[in-house]
Amino acid sequence: MPDVYNLPPDVTYHFSSNIDDATGYKTTSILTIPLKTAKGDVLGVLQIINAQDDDKNVIPFTKEDEKTMYHFGGIAAIALVRAKMTRSIIMRMISMAELHDSKETGAHVNRVGSYAVEIYEKWAERRKIPREEIDKKRDVLRMAAMLHDVGKIATSDMILKKPGRLNDEEFEIMKLHTVHGARLFLDKQSEFDEASGIVALNHHERWDGGSRGYPGHIEVETGEPLEGKELNNGEAMPKKGEEIHLFGRIVALADVYDALASVRSYKEAWDEEKIIAILKEESGTHFDPELVEIFLEIFDTIKSIEERYPS
């Protein structure tokens, strides 16, 4: 379109000047390319505005421009198809976990993923991390956090769905879901794989290195303690403080909060005042104290996420 303010009267589309009016920008020429799959389905559009000549004068786009943009549009469409396919696979993995464990609902994992990215963003802003890096990590962390308990698909129904308290032997088996989850992402093909393995493995560690944290310093492939990280009883030494990856520390807090705030088959949702008291009490023991501080700072945002994804 050489001039969007002077479109032919017989066209079936129109131009909205709302953004121009709000920003003071003047749109003249536009080139819009459909982003299509190999089957011809339209995924979206790629649009560029205001071609210029060497003197910076706005001119219409040429046929050569159109060919160039079709080339880039094809590349963009392939990237979108792959991204959609990856997301679909991830969502299917989440659905499998949900079928196996009724606690791992779509609402629960969406809340945990959303809490996690809000905590991370505030943490990163405190450290003046560039916005581009924050945005990149947000997307990776969200999906990794949603898969934090995916390793439970390897846990027996007899244990996972037991109505009463687990005995010691059953609890030891349950704890292995962290290792099973991490093993799913050993063949790292992307930052997402790396983050997902980190979250699965680390979201039950305790900030103070207490014995209730697990699985500790282990070799994921074998499940055995790392060299020099073995306790006298043969178990792996728990991780402590910043030995626990940031993503694991964040998801630990997000997951526990959501468990306390949600109705489960064995309990009612706790009231807000009681949950906050527990988080403060566990700050510096179970949870990274800075992350608890951040969580309480953004508590209004946390509550809005709960409303967005009701159980």
Could you give the residue numbers annotated as active site?
152
DSSP reduced 3-state for 283: strand
Residue 45, amino acid: V
Report the distance separating Cα 201 and Cα 242, nearest Å.
15
Strands 42-49 and 30-36: antiparallel
Helix (H, G, I), strand (E, B) or coil at 219: coil
| Beta-carbon contacts of residue 309 (< 8 Å; ≥ 6 apart) | 106, 107, 110, 111, 114
Nearest Cα neighbor of 254 from 116, 82, 95 is 116
The residues pairing with 286 across neighbouring beta strands, listed in sequence order, are none
Q: Which residues of 131-142 are buried (b: 16+ CB within 10 A; e: fewer)?
A: eeebeebbebbb
Structure tokens at 103: 């606690």
How far is 108 from 110, CA to CA, in rounded Å? 5
> Chain centroid to CA 156: how far?
27
Record the tokens describing residue 263, joined without a space.
Answer: 């109705």
SS3 135: helix
DSSP string, 116-140: HHHHHHHHHHHTT--HHHHHHHHHH
Which helix (H) or strand (E) element contains residue 45? strand 42-49
Q: Would you tell me how many other CB atoms lie within 10 Å of the CB of residue 148? A: 30
Q: How far apart are CA 200 and CA 107, in angstroms?
A: 19
